[in-house]
């Protein structure tokens, strides 16, 4: 067996069977410091460590939760995102352009010309969607507030949308910006923001929900997946009543035709960007939701319904448990979840305060080194460590790696989001793919520093044996990883073994 294949097998088996970090002493950091940072960030790099050294744990946490670190990206990364059509073109213009192109397509006779025009529309939509995927991964790698970046990722998965449905891929950049703006605020505001998002309204069909043609899809998932959980005690009648409340909640038409509202209805129209509440499509009957009467009044019904739902104890419990499952353990300690849920209710769903409870709790680190990274965490942490702030110029390989690991961003067909538990991502097939990606990153054979479309080859490979490695990683490596590293015959192979090791696949 080739040495590299043997190492792959050795590391994969040890990863599945014995994921532990040794508790070696360090002159720079304690194991507790490193464990906390690995939960606080997507993964260690020099700026994360310097931030921690400069501010200390409590001040860093406070600045993160108060959003005082900002969202400013390195200039080359910010310029790269700003160059994307998905971000510098307003959503209404994108959708109007799409509508016009689709109308022109309908006027073209069947044949090669129509096929070519349709292909061009599809390719542009795919490119717009790809830009949104790349931007989110770049934010995850380079964002200065790593705790916020993880929350943005978490909420994008919690309020999952599927890019390939309808116009959703055209709306993803707008959706990312919506989530980012509310990631650390009140949960109620986050729910309302997603409720008004064109991407969510199209994905879960509420844009078609109207009096006499009621669609229950969004109402059901809003309760089951976004707020209360499947066993929260609500009934099918509650779902039906919420669906009636949500009639008329939709998207502004971009077909160029004027909307003519009944003079009595016009004052009840609500318009916010591409979001529109159309009272002429709304059922104004009184509703019974979760044992409460909501009088038929228009859009105010929606706000009352969301207020009622997010104040349920089941919502506090459901959201707190999912956050703890992502950040702490596949089966988070019930006592921690209870403390988080209590804070959720006491603070009216203040996400930052719930996160503070979790990150100041002893339970956060009680399972240190045992929470298996999902594909996104593995890729982002590997790139952060390997390239340590160097601005990549081509984010397409990042998207491709996520696809290879079966966790494409905005690629979950069902609305439940990708699994948060390690078992979903630790198969032997996953481990083999992770080794291949670690090899691509560790050898530099990955095109991250080659502009998209260029035939030039990426020069050089990352040097992982830096001060960061010796200060924050080397003292805590397990014996199995040290033994594997000792067998490396080159720096590139050593890089590959480290990135694919048990120690760097767990957090």
Q: Which of 437, 327, 414 is nearest to 372 (CA)?
A: 327
N residues, the chain: 507
Higher pLDDT, 4 or 421: 421
Q: What is the pLDDT of residues 33-86, one digit of tens each?
A: 999 999 999 999 999 999 999 999 999 999 999 999 999 999 999 999 999 999
| Across 238-244, average pLDDT | 98
Report which of 300, 316, 305, 304 is spatially closest to residue 238, judged by C-alpha positions. Answer: 305
C-alpha–C-alpha distance, residues 352 and 131, integer Å:
29
Is residue 472 a contact partner of residue 50, using CB atoms and an 8 Å limit?
Answer: no
pLDDT at 459: 60
User: Cα(188)–Cα(208) distance, rounded to whole angstroms?
Assistant: 24
pLDDT of residue 256: 80
Nearest in space to 94 (alpha carbons), one of 85, 82, 81: 85
Closest CA to 37 of 467, 478, 381, 498: 381
CA–chain centroid gap for 385, Å, is: 20
- Segment 236-246 shows an average pLDDT of 98
Express as a percent the part of the chain with pLDDT over 90: 89
Q: What confidence score (pLDDT) does residue 474 get?
A: 94
Q: How would residue 457 be classed by pLDDT, with cut points 50, 70 and 90?
A: low
Q: What is the dihedral of CA 332, 334, 337, 342, to 10 degrees?
A: 180
**Tokens encoding 462:** 């990352």
Residue 2 has pLDDT above 70, yes or no: no
- Is 0.85 surpassed by the pTM of this model? yes
Tell me what pLDDT residue 310 has. 98
Q: What is the rounded end-to-end Cα distance, in angstroms, of the chain?
A: 31
Q: What pLDDT score was predicted for residue 454?
A: 76
- Of the candidates 99, 18, 1, 39, which has an alpha carbon nearest to the alpha carbon of residue 362? 39
Average pLDDT taken over every residue of the chain: 93
3-state secondary structure of 351: helix
- Give the tens place of pLDDT for each residue, 391-445: 999 999 999 999 999 999 999 999 999 999 999 999 999 999 999 999 999 999 9
Task: Look up tokens 């709304």; give the residue.
Answer: 282
Would you call 127 helix, strand, or coil by DSSP?
helix
Residue-wise pLDDT tens digits, 340-349 = 999 999 999 9
Interaxial angle between packed helices 491-499 and 3-17, expressed in degrees from 0 to 180 and rounded to the nearest 10: 20
């Amino acid at each position: 067996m080739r040495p590299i294949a043997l190492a792959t097998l050795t590391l994969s088996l040890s990863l599945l069977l014995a994921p532990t970090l040794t508790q070696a002493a360090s002159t720079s950091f304690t194991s507790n410091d490193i464990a906390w940072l690995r939960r606080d960030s997507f993964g260690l790099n020099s700026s994360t460590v310097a931030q921690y050294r400069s501010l200390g744990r409590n001040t860093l946490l406070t600045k993160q939760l108060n959003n005082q670190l900002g969202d400013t990206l390195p200039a080359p990364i910010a310029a790269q995102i700003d160059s994307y059509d998905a971000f510098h073109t307003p959503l209404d213009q994108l959708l109007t352009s799409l509508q016009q192109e689709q109308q022109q397509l309908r006027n073209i006779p069947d044949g090669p010309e129509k096929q070519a025009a349709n292909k061009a529309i599809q390719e542009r939509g795919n490119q717009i969607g790809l830009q949104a995927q790349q931007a989110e991964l770049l934010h995850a790698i380079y964002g200065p507030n790593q705790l916020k970046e993880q929350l943005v990722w978490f909420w994008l998965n919690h309020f999952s949308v599927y890019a390939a449905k309808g116009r959703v891929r055209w709306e993803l950049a707008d959706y990312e910006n919506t989530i980012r703006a509310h990631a650390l605020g009140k949960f109620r505001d986050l729910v309302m923001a997603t409720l008004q998002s064109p991407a969510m309204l199209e994905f879960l069909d509420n844009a078609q929900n109207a009096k006499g043609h009621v669609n229950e899809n969004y109402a059901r998932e809003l309760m089951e997946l976004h707020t209360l959980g499947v066993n929260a005690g609500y009934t099918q009648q509650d779902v039906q009543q919420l669906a009636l409340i949500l009639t008329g909640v939709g998207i502004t038409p971009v077909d160029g035709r004027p909307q003519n509202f009944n003079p009595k209805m016009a004052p009840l129209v609500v318009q916010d960007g591409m979001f529109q509440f159309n009272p002429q499509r709304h059922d104004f009957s009184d509703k019974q939701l979760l044992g409460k009467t909501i009088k038929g009044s228009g859009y105010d019904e929606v706000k009352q319904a969301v207020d009622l739902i997010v104040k349920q104890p089941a919502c506090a419990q459901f959201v707190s448990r999912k956050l703890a499952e992502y950040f702490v353990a596949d089966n988070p300690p019930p006592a921690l979840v209870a403390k988080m849920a209590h804070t959720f209710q006491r603070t009216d769903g203040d996400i930052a305060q719930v996160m503070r409870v979790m990150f100041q709790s002893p339970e956060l680190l009680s399972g240190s080194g045992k929470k298996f990274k999902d594909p996104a965490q593995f890729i982002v942490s590997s790139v952060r460590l390997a390239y340590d702030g160097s601005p990549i110029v081509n984010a397409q390989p990042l998207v491709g790696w996520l696809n290879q690991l079966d966790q494409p961003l905005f690629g979950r067909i069902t609305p439940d989001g990708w699994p948060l538990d390690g078992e979903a991502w630790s198969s032997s097939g996953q481990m083999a793919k992770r080794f291949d990606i670690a090899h691509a990153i560790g050898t530099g054979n990955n095109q991250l520093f080659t502009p998209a479309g260029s035939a030039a080859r990426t020069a050089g490979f990352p040097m992982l044996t830096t001060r960061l490695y010796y200060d924050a990683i080397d003292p805590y490596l397990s014996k199995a990883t040290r033994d594997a590293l000792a067998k490396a015959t080159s720096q590139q192979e050593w890089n590959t073994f480290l990135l694919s090791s048990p120690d760097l696949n767990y957090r």
